[in-house]
Structure formats: structure tokens, C-alpha cells
Amino acid sequence: MRAAVLASLAVVVSARAASATPYETFIDISDQSELEDLLAAQDISQDTYDELLDLLQRGINLSTANRSELYSLPNLTYEDVDKLIEYRKLQQGLIRDPAELVGANVLSEEKLLAISAFLVVTPTGKDPLAIHGWVRAMTRVSQEDRILPPLSLRARVTAAKHLQVGIALTTTRLRVGAPVFDPNRNALIADQQGYQVHVPKVFVKWETDDVSLIGGSFRAGFAQRLVFDNSSQYSPNGLYLDDELSYAVDLARECRESKGELGV
């Protein structure tokens, strides 16, 4: 009886290890708006939304991603991932067109289409640097604006297959300057609100199969989230670049300004 129970447990553990990342439903989206629709319909939780949004913005390169990064793609099992890695080895480490995975029986067409929004495709060619990247900008404007609208900008460049450089930049219009202590007034003072440029995140990353180096902003995750993790990965293991920006849609209220002892 005990042997039978142990055997049953072994089967359960084996099946669990081979399953896909346990999201609440089959994930098939083309952009962030469809991901937001899944959250609004309560088909996925807030945690799942945050993880998938991070993955959507970061992107996965099938030619360079390691096993844990590939497994973070929705709907893929470890069996799918291992078949993909073996196929990549046969192609000298380069998957030029993800569509070839269907013809090679590595992935089904349904799974490939479902993960396509999360993929970053490396351009083909003989350029040894193979420099490529993207720039994304976002703003909001209203007809009542009398000053330049706010702007957020993210840019990422990849070169020589292993090098990545990224930056996240924002502007603000209603934020006052950084407060500093004025010993003459025995109070905090700050410059008046105005249009400002901020660079909250920047990174440089070099990663190969043997080495992972990163400088700037990053996230880290180890030991299945049990030891330390702020990476939003289901099975974290290592360092992850961070160039994400978030925004609030709440109305802003102007500061109540005062000239202190000089008068209101």
C-alpha cells in the first residue's frame, strides 16, 4: 500500500513538473489591451496580469533565452521548451523565423500564435553586430493644456547577440523641485513646479550561456521565490533587466505654494 502511494506521488510530481506555467486560462493575446480585457473579465488575477505585462514589455528572444526564460512564456510546458532548445542547437543557436517551429513539430500552430506577442525576433543577415532595437513613446494631451504634454519614453538596443542597453525616460509638469533644507529659514525649500526630465531607469547587460553581467536597474530572483525575488518570474533564477514604466490616471492636484516668512 505504501509503495502504491509513493508511486502515485511520483506520477503527480512528474506530471506537475511537465505542465505549463499555471495561469488561470489559456493565454492568447496580441497586445496589452487584450491582456487588460482578460483582467477586467476576471479570467486572470492581478498577479498573473503583472507577470504577463512584464513579459510582454520585456520580450523573449528565442535565439538567446535560457530554459527558465522560455518556460515563462504562457502555455509552454518543459517538454515544449526542451524540444525548442534541441532544435535551436541544430540551427547553430539561431531561430530566424519562429514559424519554422511548427514545420519542425517543435510547437503546435496554436501555441506559436499564442506566444507570438511575447517574442522578439532577431533580424537575419551577416552583420556581426546585428544591431537592432525599438523605441516606444507615450503621452496624453487635452484641449485645455497650456504647456507641453507629459511624455514617457523607453528604448532598448541589442548588439552582438549578447549585449543589451536600455533606458526609461519621463517628463513631469506639476512636480516641484527636490526639497532642500535652508538653515537660514530653518525650513525646507524647493524650486517652483515646471517641466522636468527624469531618467529613473537605465541598464547595460551582457549575457551568454556562461556569464550574466548587468549594471544599472535590474530585478533579481532565486530559489523558486523562497529565498529572494522581485522579478515577477514564475521560476526565477538570476538577474533580469528592468526598464519598465507605470503611470496613474488619477487627477493631479496642484501644490499649495507659500513664500514662508516672506508672505503668502
pLDDT tens, position by position, 144-178: 888 888 899 999 998 887 898 999 999 988 888 88
Question: How far is it, in rounded angstroms, from Cα 49 to Cα 74?
Answer: 12
- Percent of the chain topping pLDDT 90: 31
Helix (H, G, I), strand (E, B) or coil at 262: helix
What DSSP character marks residue 162?
T
Q: Three-class SS string for 215-249?
A: EECEEEEEHHHCCEECCCCCCCCEEEECCCCCCCC
Which set of grid coordinates corresponds to residue 124? 537575419
Chain position carrying cell 551582457: 206
Task: Give the tens place of pLDDT for each residue, 30-88.
Answer: 988 899 999 999 999 988 898 898 888 778 889 888 888 898 899 999 999 999 999 99
Is residue 79 classed as helix, strand or coil in its secondary structure? helix
Residues 6+ apart with CB under 8 A from 83: 106, 107
Question: In one letter, which amino acid is 97?
Answer: D
Which residue, 6, 212, 32, is CA-closest to 136?
32
